Homo-oligomer: A and B are copies of this chain.
């Protein structure tokens, strides 16, 4: 009857929204819909454009407004969600308002209300390993993610959450193990690890410098990790919204992979596969391979379109005539930022039918800390 591989899935997506371009819910909603998910978008901010433009207008929802919207859903019995995906929220209280209802009375039997959190600290942290947020925000987030089944920290966020500095593959494995244990989060994906920058202890071949590695893990019964890695070539361009795209597609593809796994995995708590399933056969690994393949195709085409757009502008030198040097620079920056907006909708076929070009690999034992070997 359906032309979707993903089973019917109702997602509550709590994230920011922009009028122009694709970040937050303006990315995640369509990414999930294109795979067949029914998405309820609860927007935490309504901005004209993403903050990468260095200027924007719009409003932030207060924690009270977010709570009200969620109460509006509750009072009309509209909370039968299979998954909750939370992105940027302007305050921890805002996320708590929604997140605390995981085990509410509305949950139907046989359904698992998933909480997936992504990029919690992203909008407020530096990228050189320095934390810019207030000290009280981190504990609030740490409390919230205990309710999550999957989190998608980047390398720096993984360090903050685990308390372990990632300098090698062994410390990376330790950090993931710690996150599984401290927060009881069964699925973890660390996006964008640059393996070539970590010191090597074992025999794991390092991809070239222009590759990024995505590391994932689903716990075994005893809480130990099942680690897999996927190397993908990095594209020479900064795109906004890729974290949201990754999370959104992962929600849909994980649901698909869990459904395809059989063995009643869909009604197993937190979709944790039996210990007999190896790391690279995990639904999480299968999902991530598809997600990264989709993203690579879309971003490759985005970069082509961006380059064409920027090349075209070279032919229009009159564009900035009469402007001050400073104003010209600003206009040029705006133009480049706009040109790099992800070409999402016209490339939907790569979301639906990814050309699988990557594969999940097991870790070499020598790269694991002694207690995990």
- CB within 8 Å of B: which residues of A? 2-4, 8, 12, 17, 19-21, 26, 29-30, 33, 36-43, 46-49, 53, 55-59, 61, 65, 68-73, 75-78, 331, 334-335, 337-338, 344-346, 348-349
A66 to chain B, nearest CB (A): 10
**Contact between A73 and B59 (Cβ–Cβ < 8 Å)?**
no
Inter-chain CA distance A20–B2, complex, in Å, is 22
**Contact between A48 and B73 (Cβ–Cβ < 8 Å)?**
yes
Q: Which of A43, A78, A335 has the most CB of B within 10 A?
A: A78
**Contact between A56 and B78 (Cβ–Cβ < 8 Å)?**
no
Residues in chain B near residue A59, CB distance under 8 A:
61, 65
**With known contacts A49-B72, A69-B48, A76-B49, A3–B57 Cβ distance under 8 A:** no
A270 to chain B, nearest CB (A): 25
Q: Assembly of this chain: how many copies?
A: 2
Chief secondary structure at chain A's binding surface: mixed
**With known contacts A4-B346, A76-B49, A78-B338, A19–B41 Cβ distance under 8 A:** yes
Inter-chain CA distance A72–B21, complex, in Å, is 13
A316 to chain B, nearest CB (A): 11
Q: Which residue of B lies closest to A32 (CB)?
A: B345
**Contact between B49 and A78 (Cβ–Cβ < 8 Å)?**
yes
**Contact between A68 and B72 (Cβ–Cβ < 8 Å)?**
no
**Contact between B72 and A48 (Cβ–Cβ < 8 Å)?**
yes
**Contact between B58 and A46 (Cβ–Cβ < 8 Å)?**
no
Option from B30, B40, B346 in Cβ contact (under 8 Å) with A19:
B40
**Contact between A57 and B40 (Cβ–Cβ < 8 Å)?**
no
